Structure 1
């Protein structure tokens, strides 16, 4: 398992195009969104300025992009090429494969988060205490592992031809409904009730709580932990049951 984890991390770091896109894309989106908004306005239902709200949202969105989009397509291609079939002939357990994939995804998310924070501080004047910067980085990084596990599951659930459209639907659906692009407080009441149980909503809410100097909500933490366990279990089960031939 350790050998596979190291291999997966090295493969990710060597993919310079993927690393470049994953690290810079969310900061570019942040600059685009924040430039068109009123800097001094507060987000409804919070004490956060638009710039601070968007910083956490776009850092979370960027981490989601890196781990979900890259994971699912890469795994689907590996299945088609027969690489995963060879791994199943070894003693590697399903949980070992899933954890190796999650570890490789975690390598990408950290620089992605740091770059968004740096852009927000340097160009948009976002100011937080030192503990908040550290807590935000750790919370968003740890939360991204939930979606890394989801990416592994999607990669096993779909074929190489279908993986991209399926991933895009899930990716944009979770991003929009979870409140990463706009405050969920602006949604109709019935949609807010649905959004509260989505992993992306809990993911963003934890970061926003830290920005406001509060401890993350227990429900949000429980939701993320529950989804992480669910996605890991599903990914491990699909790995063991996969019968695709090389």
Structure 2
């Protein structure tokens, strides 16, 4: 399994297009959204400045990009090419393949988080305590596993032709409705009620709580755990189903 993880990491790091969208793109969006905001401009209802709020949102968005986009399309293509079937002929257990995919995606997501933090600190002068930087990195990185599991599930659910539109709809829908691109407080009340139950909203809320020197809300943590169980369970079921068809 370690060899497969190394292979997955090597393939991901060689994919320049993937690295651009998962590492550079979120930082560019951060500068685009927060670049013109003043240092004291705050987001209503949060007490956070635009820069600190959007820093967490874009770091979360970058991690989401890395684990969701990377897993879903690659798995669907590997199923069609016969690579997954070949792996089943080896001693590698099914869970090893899923773990390798999740682990490699999680490793690649870390640079996207760190780059957004560096840009926010140097360009927008975001200042936090040392423990907050460490806690933010850990919370956003760990939370990305929820979407890594979703990526695996989509990869086993969709064919090679259908996986991209399904992934893009899921990707942009969760990002926009979850409040990663713009504060959910700007949404109509009915849309805010929907956003509060989305995994991306709870995901970003982890970091926002840490920025406010607070513990993450139990509701947000519970939501992410529930979504992880659902996505991981769905991925496991789809993997077994795909194995029976092979």
Report how far residue 44 of structure 1 moved. 1.0
Q: Hey, what does 2:79 align to over in structure 1?
A: 79
Report how far residue 5 of structure 1 moved. 2.8
Q: Hey, what does 2:130 align to over in structure 1?
A: 130
The answer to whether structure 1 residue 58 and structure 2 residue 39 are counterparts is: no
Report how far residue 53 of structure 1 moved. 0.4
Q: Hey, what does 2:181 align to over in structure 1?
A: 181
Report how far residue 17 of structure 1 moved. 4.1
Report how far residue 132 of structure 1 moved. 0.4
Report how far residue 38 of structure 1 moved. 4.1
Q: Hey, what does 2:218 align to over in structure 1?
A: 218
Structure 2 CA distance for aligned equivalents of residues 214 and 153 of structure 1: 33
Moved more, 66-75 or 29-38: 29-38
Q: Hey, what does 1:6 align to over in structure 2?
A: 6
Q: Hey, what does 2:68 align to over in structure 1?
A: 68
Question: Once the two structures are superposed, what CA deviation does each residue of 1:23-54 show, in whole Å capped at 9, x if it has no partner?
Answer: 11111111111124344221111110001101
Aligned-residue Cα RMSD (Å) equals 1.8
Whether the aligned pair in 1 keeps the contact of 2:59 and 2:112 (CA below 8 Å) is: yes
Whether the aligned pair in 2 keeps the contact of 1:85 and 1:245 (CA below 8 Å) is: no
Report how far residue 96 of structure 1 moved. 2.4
Equivalent residue runs for 1:144-163 within 5 Å: 144-163=144-163
Q: Hey, what does 1:34 align to over in structure 2?
A: 34
Q: Hey, what does 1:231 align to over in structure 2?
A: 231
Question: Once the two structures are superposed, what CA deviation does each residue of 1:99-124 show, in whole Å capped at 9, x if it has no partner?
Answer: 11110001111111000000000000
**Aligned length in residues:** 246
Whether the aligned pair in 2 keeps the contact of 1:85 and 1:244 (CA below 8 Å) is: no
TM-score by length of 2: 0.94
Unaligned stretches of 5+ in structure 1? Answer: none
Structure 1 CA distance for aligned equivalents of residues 28 and 174 of structure 2: 20
Q: Hey, what does 2:117 align to over in structure 1?
A: 117
Unaligned stretches of 5+ in structure 2? Answer: none
Whether the aligned pair in 2 keeps the contact of 1:184 and 1:192 (CA below 8 Å) is: yes
Equivalent residue runs for 1:192-207 within 5 Å: 192-207=192-207
Report how far residue 80 of structure 1 moved. 0.8
Whether the aligned pair in 2 keeps the contact of 1:88 and 1:240 (CA below 8 Å) is: no
Question: Once the two structures are superposed, what CA deviation does each residue of 1:117-154 show, in whole Å capped at 9, x if it has no partner?
Answer: 00000000111000000000000011111111101110
Q: Hey, what does 2:165 align to over in structure 1?
A: 165
Moved more, 113-122 or 69-78: 69-78
Relative contact order (alpha carbons < 8 A, sep ≥ 6): 1 or 2 greater?
Answer: 1
Q: Hey, what does 2:101 align to over in structure 1?
A: 101
Moved more, 8-17 or 132-141: 8-17
